[in-house]
Structure 1
Amino acid sequence: MSYQSLVITFLLFISIFPKPNFSEDKPNTSPDVDPATLIYEGLKGENASLPSKEVFSLAIQGWSKMKENLKSKVLTVIDFSLPSTTKRMWIIDPEKGEILLHSVVSHGRNSGELMAKSFSNQPESYKSSLGFYTTAETYNGKHGYSLRLDGLEKGFNDQARNRAIVIHGADYAREEFAASVGRLGRSLGCPALPSELSAKAINLIKDGSLLFIFGKDQNYLSKSSLIKA
């Protein structure tokens, strides 16, 4: 048999039997990664630490559900499970993976001293309220340039506007105050920011972005529909 005939015979032989699919025998080495993890691992910001992955994941769950109805895709995360002496507020652009601002923030006077442990939606409680908010309009009041908030979660923060829960600047919310007293000063329930940063923060998040305030409160964590996958 000629060489050409042997080649033709070999090609006919291998065409009868399909090539083995070795990939079918290999386990999937690329497990699915949820969107929150992808965003979290890509976050970057100059001299900014990250929020905890647990808190960030809850914030992103709500943001993902709400983002199509938001005028701004910026997300603010406040973690009241941390002491007030730490920088526990992050303003984040999830789509660009950037931390735009990282700051200390005050909690309500009746929520606790160094740590915020008690939360309320009730008027005159002087406590912080947990959950998701949308940022609204700005105004100039007794604390200067301020930002109104509308609570999105009935029973947890929907009284925010009635309670005048707003973002504003305050000298008692500055790190220098915390260094001398051992904690930040406390508000009447507002997430108050350092006076030198408040205008910048307000301009980043005003007019229709999402804000999430987290706290270790089992009632909220078990009942909020926005943090459930």
Structure 2
Amino acid sequence: MENKSVVRRQRLKLKSRRMVRRVLPFVAALFLATPLAAPVTRSKAAVTHVSVAAISKATIFDQKVHGLYRDLQVEEQGLTFEVFEKAMTGYLNLEKTNQLSDKQLLTVVDFSLPSTEKRLWVLDLESKQVKFHTLVAHGRNSGENMATTFSNENESNKSSLGFYVTEGEYVGKHGRSLKLAGVDEGYNTNALMRSVVMHGADYVSEEFIRQNGRLGRSLGCPALPMDQKDAIIESIGGQTAMFINGPDTRYSSKYLNQDVAMSTMLNNSQLI
């Protein structure tokens, strides 16, 4: 009888722990939303309050990013949540440091996808709509149909990963083009010097894919279809965020600071 009692108590404890893990995020959110009747004075209580607050902020942030991902309906278009979350984290970090305009646009390029797929998205975070979803070329030395290697070096003819802030337009050898300022040290900060810009190209089209089995490739620029380049350049020009993702596990960025992203999102009523 004594052994059965012990087993029963152990099962009850395990059940209780599971229940706590399930309800803690919801209790934390409720805790933050409810004003305290009196100030917390004991150090142990203060630590508990901070812990609950941290859990709640992380939970709310996760919920909001998932909610925005669902509202944009980009999963159906091939943009994974992992890439979207990185892009959003960087966007919020750039917004915190006042590097962006008030357009609330985020351009995501996912070079982990083949060039035969539409792998560029321009997202309107305010209206929660996809403004553009289209093809985009990578650098000729980054790979054939798949981009596998990247570089920040001049004359490498490779694409560069990371976060960018768009600058102004100009007319060059490719016609209407948009300057891109790379902000990830060691990954894309030579973009302006390398003339890595957004421009249109005839080799970025469904017809080119049908004839060659892949898109044509640039000298490192994220080149666009000719019939969409003007609209995209006009839309995203002037201090908006761009994130170029790729299959490089070594990539890291100071703009992937989730604490900064959480703080920025929770203070931005338009994104909540």
TM-score tier after normalising by the smaller chain length: 0.7 to 0.9
Whole-angstrom distance in 2 between the partners of 1:99 and 1:124? 34
Higher share in helix? 2
* Residue matched to 2:72: 43
Residues 1:85 and 2:116 are matched in the alignment: yes
**So what's the TM-score if we normalise by structure 2?**
0.70
Partner amino acid for 1:36?
A: V
User: What is the aligned-residue identity percentage?
Assistant: 46
Offset at 1:67? Answer: 2.0
Whole-angstrom distance in 2 between the partners of 1:103 and 1:206? 17
* Residue matched to 1:61: 89
| Kept after mapping to 2: 8 A contact 1:83/1:115 | yes
| Kept after mapping to 1: 8 A contact 2:161/2:188 | yes
Deviation per CA, 1:79-136: give whole Å up to 9, x if none.
0000000000000012221100000000000000000000000000000000000000
* Residue matched to 2:80: 52
Residues 1:131 and 2:159 are matched in the alignment: no
Deviation per CA, 1:128-153: give whole Å up to 9, x if none.
00000000010111111100000001
Residue of 165, 188, 212 corresponding to 2:219: 188
Residues 1:200 and 2:231 are matched in the alignment: yes
Deviation per CA, 1:144-170: give whole Å up to 9, x if none.
110000000111000000000000000
Whole-angstrom distance in 2 between the partners of 1:212 and 1:161? 16
Partner amino acid for 1:126?
A: N
Question: Structure 1 residues 88, 143: closer, same or farther in 2, change over 3 A?
Answer: same
Partner amino acid for 1:114?
A: N
**So what's the TM-score if we normalise by structure 1?**
0.83
Whole-angstrom distance in 1 between the partners of 2:81 and 2:150? 22
Whole-angstrom distance in 1 between the partners of 2:256 and 2:117? 24
Whole-angstrom distance in 2 between the partners of 1:137 and 1:169? 16
Offset at 1:28? Answer: 3.0
* Residue matched to 2:33: none
Helix, strand or coil at the partner of 2:69? helix
Consecutive unaligned residues in structure 2, runs of 5 or more: 1-18, 27-58, 259-272
Offset at 1:29? Answer: 8.9
Helix, strand or coil at the partner of 2:180? strand
Number of residue-to-residue matches in the alignment:
201
| Kept after mapping to 1: 8 A contact 2:93/2:257 | no
Whole-angstrom distance in 1 between the partners of 2:181 and 2:24? 44
Partner amino acid for 1:107?
A: H
| Kept after mapping to 1: 8 A contact 2:142/2:157 | yes
Offset at 1:64? Answer: 1.1
* Residue matched to 2:256: 227
* Residue matched to 2:23: 28
Partner amino acid for 1:204?
A: S
Partner amino acid for 1:103?
A: T
Whole-angstrom distance in 2 between the partners of 1:135 and 1:105? 16
Consecutive unaligned residues in structure 1, runs of 5 or more: 1-24
Partner amino acid for 1:185?
A: G
Offset at 1:44? Answer: 4.3
Whole-angstrom distance in 2 between the partners of 1:162 and 1:94? 30
* Residue matched to 1:175: 206
Offset at 1:178? Answer: 1.0
| Kept after mapping to 2: 8 A contact 1:113/1:183 | yes
> RMSD over aligned Cα, in angstroms?
1.8
Residues 1:209 and 2:245 are matched in the alignment: no
